[in-house]
A = this chain, B = another copy of it.
Amino acid sequence: VRRGDLLDAAESVLVERGMTAFTVDEVTVRANVAKGTFYLYFQSKEDVLAALRDRFLDGLMATQRAELAALPEGDWLGRLELWMETSIRGYLAQIPLHDALFMHANVEGRGAVHPANPHLDSLVEILQAGSAAGAFTVDSPTAAAVLLYAAMHGATDYVIDNPDAMPVDELVAESRLLCRRLASR
């Protein structure tokens, strides 16, 4: 209830003002509560940022699951390509939030590739299942997934920072090529 208001206020502050201007004071003012109330619902400033990241990824993955489910049963290459493309486009669809959440990730012990990252896990599953089915030729599905995930995330950050130097479509096309090279022939 009140927690949801604070989360919404935090997201709007982050999107409109950016990470530098993201203060607990600003969040509570926008949620119409006293500064101290914030600490009844969140342990710290980092805590609310982590909650925002979780909410962002949950939404992205829900969309992604629906799109992946529409593909034919054994189309592993299609799954891999779709995972890459919807991830990139999903991040780019919410640049300000993604930017604030992941680019200036001033959170202790968390890089772009989070230790416990369900989004990464979903890519691992595709690569493991696809390999077992003989669709991919990789030595380590996990290592390949980490590489592809990092490629996706980092390259997306790059495009966000350099929209003129690198069109999204060019990046997506090259990521498709990369995926096709993992396919068994």
Contact = CB atoms under 8 A, between A and B. Distances in A.
A138 B107 contact: no
Interface stretch (A26-34, A66-74, A150-158): A150-158
Interface string A166-185: 10001101110110011000
Contacts of A158: 111, 113, 146, 150
A115 interface: yes
B166 A157 contact: no
A155 B110 CA distance: 13
A60 interface: no
Interface string A90-133: 00000000000011111111111111000000000000000000
Nearest to A183: B181
A161 B104 contact: no
A166 B151 contact: no
Contacts of A103: 109-111
Interface of A: 19-20, 102-115, 138-140, 142-144, 146-155, 157-158, 160-162, 165-166, 170-171, 173-175, 177-178, 181-182
Given A146-B171, A151-B151, 13 more contacts: A102-B111, A104-B107, A105-B105, A112-B154, A113-B154, A115-B162, A143-B173, A144-B174, A147-B155, A147-B174, A147-B175, A150-B158, A154-B154
